[in-house]
Amino acid sequence: MRQRFHESFPQKVNTGKLFVVATPLGNLEDMSPRAVRALSSVTLVAAEDTRSAQRLFSHFQLRVPVLSYFIGNEAQRTPRFVERMRNGETIALISDAGLPGISDPGERLIRASLDANLPVEVVPGPSASLTALVGSGLPTGRFTFIGFLPRDRTPRIEELARLRTRAETLIFFEAPVRTATTLADLALAFGEARRACVARELTKLHEEYLRGTLAELAERTAAAPPRGEVTIVVEGSCDAPTPTIDLEASIDERLAAGQSPKEISTALAALTGKSRRQIYQLVLSRRSQRS
């Protein structure tokens, strides 16, 4: 006997509830029938980008009120949405693209709903991180999603130093204008020969996967900066833990080779995980002793 799919969403839901609904990364054919039913059943849609939501709704002929819910207003609107759900309304949460709650404001509303003992139902679908991981050709058995690295270089280098010996595949989000810089920092921290993949414009017309070493990808993206949404996938470390580095001896060697204090502190921070500022002061001290 052929099994029928369970119809999850009636025309209207009578109890307050939050639906977390995945939407297409770019190709509208990736929108699931279940996602369409969920969005058509709710009282309100909380959208990271109302313009993207309206284009999506127009395509699928959805007529549901939409309110913006993004990093600038999430603190103010979260308790209001929770109160509305307590009063019996149903709300769907969508991000600009993909699965809400991954590097976007959705996490706050999901947590607040659960804390208020409201039911939360996830309608799964497209995910940029998983799509890039699978398409990268790198190991998928174990992976860690890192998301966006700090913009300031010192904390970014320090975080990469902590990640350098992780054995699992690592997934990063990055803005197109910072992709080449981030790849150069990854090469500095992880080693130039580490394999990686830059995936951009996933499921869209100009979808592209760039595969190679971190050094190769840093050079390619510096020469031709990518456009659109970027996901970087980096293979895990196969090396044993790095032996303890004699900082003073390494600084003296690099000074003798003509490296600047900034270059030395950045490189050694990446290799040791120590503060770049502290190493910089030590470099200045060693340089003055050499004078």
> What is the DSSP code string of 90-159?
EEEEE-SSB-TTSSSTHHHHHHHHHHTT--EEEE----HHHHHHHHHTS--SSEEEEEEPPSSHHHHHHH
User: Collapsing DSSP states into helix, strand and coil, what is residue 66?
Assistant: strand
pLDDT bucket at 2, cuts 50 / 70 / 90: very low
Residue ranges of domains in the chain: 17-126, 129-234, 247-286
When pLDDT is averaged across residues 102-128 and rounded to a whole number, the result is: 94
**pLDDT of res. 129:** 96
* The token pair that represents 283 in the structure block: 């470099």
When pLDDT is averaged across residues 198-205 and rounded to a whole number, the result is: 96
Question: Mind listing the pLDDT tens digit for each residue in 165-176?
Answer: 999 999 999 999
Beta-sheet pairing, 143-148 with 169-174: parallel
Question: Mind listing the pLDDT tens digit for each residue in 51-95?
Answer: 999 999 999 999 999 999 999 999 999 999 999 999 999 999 999
**pLDDT of res. 80:** 97
**pLDDT of res. 68:** 97
pLDDT bucket at 11, cuts 50 / 70 / 90: very low
When pLDDT is averaged across residues 95-122 and rounded to a whole number, the result is: 94
pTM (2 d.p.)? 0.79
**pLDDT of res. 256:** 86
When pLDDT is averaged across residues 133-142 and rounded to a whole number, the result is: 97
**pLDDT of res. 14:** 53
**pLDDT of res. 265:** 85
pLDDT bucket at 10, cuts 50 / 70 / 90: very low
**pLDDT of res. 240:** 46
**pLDDT of res. 71:** 92
Running DSSP on this structure, what letter comes out for residue 65?
A: -
Instruction: State the chain's mean pLDDT as an integer.
Output: 90
**CA 267 to chain CA centroid, nearest Å:** 25
**pLDDT of res. 169:** 98
Fold of 129-234: 3.30.950
User: Which CATH superfamily hosts domain 17-126?
Assistant: Tetrapyrrole methylase, N-terminal domain (3.40.1010.10)
- Pick the more confident residue, 271 or 26: 26
Whether the per-residue pLDDT at 132 is higher than 60: the answer is yes
Indicate the angle between helix axes 179-190 and 261-272, nearest 10 degrees.
70
